[in-house]
Structure 1
Amino acid sequence: MTTMTVPAPAPAKRAGLSAGIRQTMTLTWRSLVQIKHNPMELLDLSVQPVMFLLLFTYVFGGAIAGSTEDYLQFALPGLVVQNALFATLTTAIGLNTDITKGVFDRLRSLPIARTAPLAGRIIADTAKQLWALFLFLGIGTILGFRIQTGVAGVLGAVALLLAFALAMSWMSVLIGLKAKDPEKVQIFAFSLMMPLTFTSNAFVPTDTMPGWLQVWVDVNPVTQLADAVRGLLIGGEVAGPTISSLLWAVALVVVFAPLAIRAFRGRA
């Protein structure tokens, strides 16, 4: 009696560069179209910006700056930065939800680019930030905030915020891949993000803080980004803070993108 050896099936061929880009865009659209079926995603990006803007302006404005109008001019760029960074947490939560629901089990069985699910989620969540950003500026204008640099400054601020948020999203991706469930994602991410944003000059001037804290505040990436956005929206130094923010963004990508991709491959 003879036995027949059946050759093992060849592994699925992975996508090339052009196919990988198309697959990334497809998965980006998948994330964006979910808003149609779950409008609460957009509501989350709408309620928090308005709530923070109103609370900080009318609760802290008079005590910190003497008037709500003066404080709004100082704080709105910082609030925009804080909101952009906190919005990256939706990337971690969304990825972790896909993992716990088995969506990634299906995606990794397909012959698609390894980075497509991650990049698709990041690009979609970055695009969603545009809504929150312009909502912030719109409500701020109604409350009395005035842009003093023109269209070029606004476009520059938007581009810088999106670039930094895109870089920060890779850290969120790593958190989303490593956490056991969405609740753990929120606990860990907020524990990291809250001290980072509140030990910056996003909400109060650096010179009002203790000397030992000012040393950290001056190098805090959130401070650099807030100063750059202020300069682009209301005037002031732009070049130095912008360059520092871009260097921080590059560092975030260099450190966290490889770790996130390795963590994703480790789930295969």
Structure 2
Amino acid sequence: MHYQGVLRKMETEMARPIQYYMLFEDNFLNVNQVLNRNFQIDFLKYQCLNCGEDLPIFRQGFCKSCFFETPTAGDWIMRPELSTAHLDKEDRDLAYEKKVQLQPHIVYLANSSNIKVGVTRKSQVPTRWIDQGAHEAIEIVEVPNRYLAGITEVALKDHIGDKTNWRKMLTNNVDDEDLVTWRNKLEPYIPEEAKAYFIANNQETHMEFPVLQYPNKVKSLNLTKTPSYKGVLTGIKGQYLIFNDNTVFNVRGSEGYFVSVTIS
């Protein structure tokens, strides 16, 4: 089987285990179906997700100039507390920012390597948790815009982490936590503007990933340094492909790379 196209983050479907899909222009690959098979990936060129040019990828699948110009890479994406659409104030493109920022957002706790707090649009639950490789997660607050979610996350970060240790997540060196207890413990630290949006009675969501064998340690595949790689696919977790020689490949981290994928 042979596929060719620009890498984007894998699409996912909540199931037991989670189903993963790599989408290309003309077809798609259900990655679960090729576990335990030879998986070869060859880097052919760059293709910026915004302008489509063969220019080195800077961040998030964009070349450098597009990263600093496109509204889909504004600072408020990574730092929701910088959102200003609710004030009718433009960053790069007010119409786009209103569309994304002025919709229900969730502040959540997820446990992938350790418990962390995060923000996502309500429409992205549970996709966001899957992408982070969380085996359990719970919503804390549902607010009407991204700004309120951002200031809530900032307040809670004083009491709990906001980063995932990806190496720990991929070796499955994780502990189960009682997220309901954590949610209740963090309630007093929610900012006044968001207190009315606290979610009091929900339960944890659990995710099961398609992994046949976890690596003991991980070595990351960088297509710029290693443009051709072949290994036996032994698992998928978060946005990572896991191979039998402890190599892991971050598909989302390689967005904008035009590749050839061969399954044998």
Give the TM interval when normalised to the shorter protein: under 0.3
Q: Tell which structure's C-alpha radius of gyration is larger.
A: 1
TM-score calculated relative to the size of structure 2: 0.21
Q: Which has the higher contact order (CA 8 A, sep 6+)?
A: 2
Greater fraction strand: 2
